Structures are given as structure tokens and as C-alpha cells.
A and B are shown apart, each in its own frame.
Chain A
Amino acid sequence: AQSVTQLGSHVSVSEGALVLLRCNYSSSVPPYLFWYVQYPNQGLQLLLKYTSAATLVKGINGFEAEFKKSETSFHLTKPSAHMSDAAEYFCAVSDPSSGSARQLTFGSGTQLTVLP
């Protein structure tokens, strides 16, 4: 079974400051890992994905994440926060070796607030 833990249900940063959202996963097989963003009253938008290629993954809107197998982590970062980054962020994992590779297991989410 797979699981995802997102540390910190709420994170506040000042505009221009570093954004760091934490995600740890549990998986018995090499996983695929994802970060999604959800704006109010909208669906989920894929920010970036790790699919066993480069461990440092760059995504949209200046976000990136690093897969660290030894730490079972996939933290999301952005060097400089913008007001438009305020949203809820979800880390997700799937098992690409199974017949349910598209079945995502999500973390509980982190609400990011950007302060002016």
C-alpha cells in the first residue's frame, strides 16, 4: 500500500520568499510522484511529476521538486513566492508497475498563503 504525508496543513510565506512544501511518501516499489495545485472552486492542475528519470524535476510556474529516495521525500520548492501562488497544493503517488498506475493516492494537502 502507498501513502503520502504532507507536513504542515497551512504554510505562510512573504511575497518574494522561498516556498517549501514538504511531502514524504511510503511505497514498496519505485513510485511515480506528482504535485498538483488547486485554486478555489477549480479542479487540480499538474505542477510537475517524477517518473524515474531525473531526480530534480522542474515544473510550471517556477516550481521544482527533488526526489530523494533515501529520505522518501519529494519536497516542492519555488525560489520566490508570488501572490498568485496562493492555493492548495497536493502531493500524490502512484505505482507504475501495477495495473492501477493511474490510481493516485493523495496527501491531505497544504494551503499556501502568500503575504504581501
Chain B
Amino acid sequence: KAGVTQTPRYLIKTRGQQVTLSCSPISGHRSVSWYQQTPGQGLQFLFEYFSETQRNKGNFPGRFSGRQFSNSRSEMNVSTLELGDSALYLCASSATASLYEQYFGPGTRLTVT
């Protein structure tokens, strides 16, 4: 089975721009979660989607949003980018029946200049 894929792997944007990151979960997995990883704040939960519905959201401003499509692929969007949004964005997928087997993708490295 193919693992979780994230595109693009690297991205450079300018302050004020917006960005969309994509995540394709493992085939058959319907839950997708997003995390932000920075040297200062560590790994922080952004949101979780299941069957196209956002189930949980972390403590991030409204500039961070996401969605999930009927094929379980997910996107996250960050509008009005700030320097502090520079981070590794990780996506994880899990099967419906499992509450704890989450499989992470390699991440998208976003740099905001």
C-alpha cells in the first residue's frame, strides 16, 4: 500500500500571500489530521477531517483552514501568510476503526519570506 503523500514537499511564499497544501491519505483511510511543526512551538494539532467534515480544530487563527474531499484527500489553506507560519506541515491518516494507528506523510516545508 502506498503511504501518505503530501504535495508539494517544499514551498517558498512571501508574506501576505496564501498557500494551499495537499495530502493524499493511505487508500481506505477516511480520517486526515494536520499538524504544524516549528522549532519554537514543536508539534501542534491543526485540525482533523473525517468523511468531509471537520471534527476537531486546534488553537490556530482563522487564517488556517482545511477541507476534505469525497475521496478523502485533504487540503489545508493558509491565507495572509506571516513569517511565523514558516514550518513543516504534517498530514496523518488513519482508518475508521482505529483510534490510534496514525500514519504520517513526509510533510511540506513552507518558508515564508
Partner of B103, one of A34, A46, A94, A104: A46
> Is the pair A44, B99 in contact by a Cβ cutoff of 8 Å?
no
- Interface centre among A36, A44, A51, by most chain B C-beta atoms within 10 angstroms, is A44
B56: chain A residues within 8 A (beta carbon) = 99-100, 102-103
Q: Write out, one digit per residue, whether chain A residues 88-116 have a CB within 8 A of any chain B CB (1) or not (0).
A: 00101010100111111111110000000
B87: chain A residues within 8 A (beta carbon) = none
> Is the pair B48, A100 in contact by a Cβ cutoff of 8 Å?
yes
CB distance from B21 to the nearest CB of A (A): 13
A49, CB-defined interface residue at 8 Å:
yes
> Is the pair A43, B99 in contact by a Cβ cutoff of 8 Å?
no
CB distance from B38 to the nearest CB of A (A): 11
> Is the pair B99, A96 in contact by a Cβ cutoff of 8 Å?
yes
Which residue of chain B lies nearest to A50 when distances are taken between CB atoms in the complex? Answer: B100
The stretch of B12-20, B67-75, B78-86, B104-112 that contacts the partner chain = B104-112
CB distance from A87 to the nearest CB of B (A): 14
Contact sample, A vs B, 30 pairs, CB 8 Å cutoff: A32-B100, A41-B106, A42-B107, A43-B90, A43-B105, A43-B106, A44-B90, A45-B104, A49-B101, A51-B100, A90-B43, A92-B43, A94-B99, A94-B100, A96-B99, A99-B56, A100-B56, A101-B99, A102-B31, A102-B99, A102-B100, A102-B102, A103-B33, A103-B56, A103-B58, A104-B33, A104-B35, A104-B102, A106-B44, A109-B42
Which residues of A pack against B, CB within 8 Å?
Answer: 32, 34, 36, 41-46, 49, 51, 90, 92, 94, 96, 99-109
